[in-house]
Structure 1
Amino acid sequence: MNGAAPAVRWRPLAALGAAVVLAHLALLRAVPPAPDGRAPPALRQFITRSIEIKPAAPAPAPPAAPPAARPAPRPPRSSVSDANTPQVQVQRSFSAIDSIASEVPPPAAEAVAAAPVPPAAPPVDAARTTAFSIPGSVRLGYSVNGESRKQSYNVRSELLWLQDGSSYDARLEVSAFLMGSRTQSSAGRITAEGLAPTRFGDKQRSEQAAHFERDKGKVVFSANTPDAPLLAGAQDRLSVFLQLGAMIAGDPARYPAGTALSMQTVGAREADVWLFTVEGEEPLSLPAGTMPALKLVRSPRREFDQKVELWLAPSLGYLPVRLKLTQSNGDFADQQLRSVEKP
């Protein structure tokens, strides 16, 4: 009896263990498989890994720039004449307007040295001249031919001269087809010393002017360049040609060949003393006809000065019938009389 008792006590424990095993098997069968065939999330193994942080790799060197392409060779210039290429003629005319009656400015970094050659004789001071003959009002037309930047051009200009015995107004206009015009003007009084300008203007796209403030003894420029002292007998770059003619017309015998004439000449930005030399009378063949004229020359005294050649016709009261301006770089404009009309 004592040997059978322990077996009876372990049966409930065995039955309980079997029930627990059966319950776990049922639970495992109830869990659905993962859609991708892998183990379900509850059964996946948690895996860790270490990440090694490496220093950033240096940026690759930029690729070498391709060699610059050589410019395409310029096509050969056409042999067609300018008469068939109006655009070229217009560009040349525009350069002409820009260069006529304008000095070529010297480089800013270089000083301009005066030429060492003095005049052969003391010049006649225009301020001391007392005999003048002022021409009557007139309109003069000119043909202008010249060269700018190695290109030839032909344009027209007109000088309108008006005076009433006490005041004057002069206007020189150079015009080019399709490119507009450039105008220089001079206005002032007629005095016992000839012309006394009060204002000089130079206009192309915009106007620059010089004002003669005689009561203050100075010339003021609208371009904000420094004022210049106003000397006796001063003229501007347009009136100077008319004043020379009036001086010589008043007493022609006083100005033989070789005579030097000096006068302060004012532009739109600065003033300088111009020295003219009388070279003598010579015949001229002009678009307006053949006539004798007295030639005067302003020779450059400094490296970048403009050369001025002026011809005055006695038959027209010593009005300018030809005016040739030559720049230091070789560009030139040659104005020759083609018509004389009433204003």
Structure 2
Amino acid sequence: MRALPVPPRAALLVLAASLLAHVALLGGERRPPDTAAAPARPVSVALLPPAAAPVALPEPAPQALPQPVARATATAAPAVETVPQTVEATPSAPPLRLAGPTAWTYRLRQNGQDGEAVLEWQPQADGRYSLRLSKRIGERALPAQQSVGLLNSGGLAPERYATQLGGRDRQAVNFDAEGRRVSFSASPARLELPDGAQDRLSWWLQLAALVQAAPTPGGRWRVWVAGPRGELREWVFEAVEAEPGDAGTLHLRRQLLGPHDPGIDVWLDPARGYWPVRLRQGAPETRGFEITLADVNS
């Protein structure tokens, strides 16, 4: 078949297009890519949305590890109480300056009856002590009090206090210095143990030691005291004006703990190392008692 003749003008257009394509292949100006076919991807970090930045996730709560039974009881029991930290700490007191075992005999007035009380002080060579108060009205023995513990630079550090009758403990208070706890046989409470805390008998001598350390007239002395029914209170003693029968002793009175507090007065003798020579708690003619020094047996 014979080829059709190409019009001259069309031939020229085909030749021009071929030359332009050849120039482009040799490095001439290139046409930008078709953006509609392949959209551009952002490369600037600043343009990323905030959610793309690393976010610190909260760590999962740690699982509670099993605790020893004794510790779990001490921290979880509702009866455990913490002593307020805003209360002033008991100042340090020197050891009592007493020579050897001593027994002090007192005249007793209790519940409107007369009797006798004996306070036995037994310091040991190894730094331990035993303190016992026995009372008797006629032939009838009343419940005795006993405190045992250590002597250190802070005075008395009781370990156990007990009321006794017939040679057996009726109520007891245990002081755990290492665990910083005080516990009671008559109460489930376990309380935090403050420095210098005393029992219902050892505070007599501890107060004497505090006054020895700072015998300031018109002063104020503080001591924490634990009772056998589960109580632990700070007792604050203040000096009061001398009365006619004080005979050179230092008369101290405890601040009332409440509207029904029977009150405590104690008389310390400077000539005997501020040993209590007289003590009155409540009303001796009704439900209280009073003891007055009668004799000393060394």
User: TM-score w.r.t. structure 1 length?
Assistant: 0.56
In the other structure, the counterpart of 1:160 is 120
Does structure 1 conserve the Cα–Cα contact (< 8 Å) formed by 2:108 and 2:116? yes
Could you tell me which runs of 5 or more consecutive residues in structure 1 were left unpaired when the two chains were aligned.
1-121, 286-290
Counting helix residues as a fraction of each chain, which structure ranks higher? 1
Relative distance call for 1:281 and 1:196 in structure 2 (3 A) is: farther
1:162-188 Cα offsets, whole Å, 9 max, x none, are 113511110001112243221101111
Is 1:173 aligned with 2:137?
A: no
CA distance in 2, matches of 1:293, 1:125: 27
Query: Is 1:339 paired with 2:295?
Result: yes
Bigger Rg, which one: 1
Aligned to 1:268: 228
SS of the residue 2:208 aligns to: helix
Matched positions, count:
208
Helix, strand or coil: the match of 1:312? strand
Offset, 1:224: 3.4
| Counterpart mapping for 1:180-219 below 5 A | 180-204=141-165, 206-219=169-182
1:19-58 paired onto structure 2 within 5 Å: none
What one-letter code is carried by the residue in structure 2 that aligns with 1:217?
A: R
Equivalent residue for 2:104, pick from 137, 140, 152:
140
C-alpha contact (below 8 Å) 1:133/1:250 kept by paired residues: no
TM-superposed deviation, 1:273? 1.5
Distance 1:273 1:250, change over 3 A: closer
In 2, Cα distance between the equivalents of 1:232 and 1:191?
A: 12
Aligned match for 2:212, one of 241, 249, 264: 249
Q: Aligned AA for 2:265?
A: E
Q: Distance in 2 between matches of 1:199 and 1:179?
A: 26
Q: Distance in 2 between matches of 1:264 and 1:340?
A: 28
Instruction: Specify whether residues 331 and 194 from structure 1 end up closer, same or farther in structure 2 by C-alpha distance, changes over 3 A only.
Output: same
The alpha carbon displacement at 1:276 in A equals 1.0
- Classify 1:156/1:213 alpha carbon distance in 2 versus 1 (closer, same or farther; 3 Å): same
Deviation larger for 313-322 or 262-271: 262-271
Partner amino acid, structure 1, of 2:105: G
Paired with 1:185 and 1:293, the residues of 2 have a C-alpha distance of: 26
Amino acid corresponding to residue 211 of structure 2 in structure 1: I
Conserved 8 A contact 1:211-1:220: yes
* DSSP-derived class of the 1:247 partner: helix
- Check 1:260–1:330 CA distance in 2 against 1; reply closer, same or farther (3 A cut): farther
8 Å CA contact 2:210, 2:221 repeated in 1: no
Distance 1:324 1:245 in 2: 16
Q: 1:281 deviation in Å?
A: 5.3
| TM-align CA RMSD | 2.5
Check the 8 A contact 1:139/1:340 in 2, yes or no. Answer: yes
1:168–1:174 Cα change, 3 Å: same
SS at match of 2:240: strand
SS of corresponding position for 2:207: helix
CA separation of 1:281 and 1:162: change in aligned 2, threshold 3 A: farther
* SS of residue in 2 equivalent to 1:236: coil
Q: Which residue of 2 aligns with 1:313?
A: 269
Does the 8 Å CA contact 1:132/1:249 hold for their aligned counterparts?
A: no
Maintained 8 Å contact 2:95/2:151: no
Structure 2: 5+ residue runs without aligned partners? 1-85
- Does the 8 Å contact 2:196/2:223 carry over to 1? yes
- C-alpha distance in structure 2 between counterparts of 1:331 and 1:180, whole Å: 17
- Give SS of 1:261's match: strand
- By how many angstroms is 1:324 displaced? 0.4
In the other structure, the counterpart of 2:281 is: 325
